[in-house]
Amino acid sequence: MYYVYILKSLKDDSKYVGTTTDLKKRLAAHNSGGNKYSSSKKPFRLIWYCAFSDEKKAYDFEKYLKSGSGFAFARKRLA
């Protein structure tokens, strides 16, 4: 399965959208500061995720959520 997820920084309330096949491991990586983006914004809390069986659909939905209309949709409907 492929998971599209939204994390919320408990430090500054910013949001992060990503895709992974291992949600628990990915959240742990963000919270350990293993990514350039997440190192200054940790800790994170998972606020939403959706599972896809198709990799392309998952990455397409992640791309949509990062677009202007997708960002507005996520803010209004998902988080």
Residues 9, 35: contact at Cβ < 8 Å?
no
| Residue (of 40, 41, 1) closest to 24 by Cα position | 1
- Joined tokens for residue 17: 């959208």
- How far is the C-alpha of 19 from the C-alpha of 31, rounded, in Å? 16
**Residue 24 predicted with pLDDT over 80:** yes
CA angle 60, 49, 45 (to 5 degrees): 125
Pairing of strands 44-52, 15-20: unpaired
pLDDT cut 90: percent of the chain above it: 81
Domains, the chain, ordered by start: 2-78 (3.40.1440.10)
This prediction has a pTM of 0.91
- Taking residues 26-33, report their average pLDDT: 91
Confidence of residue 34 (pLDDT cuts 50, 70, 90): confident
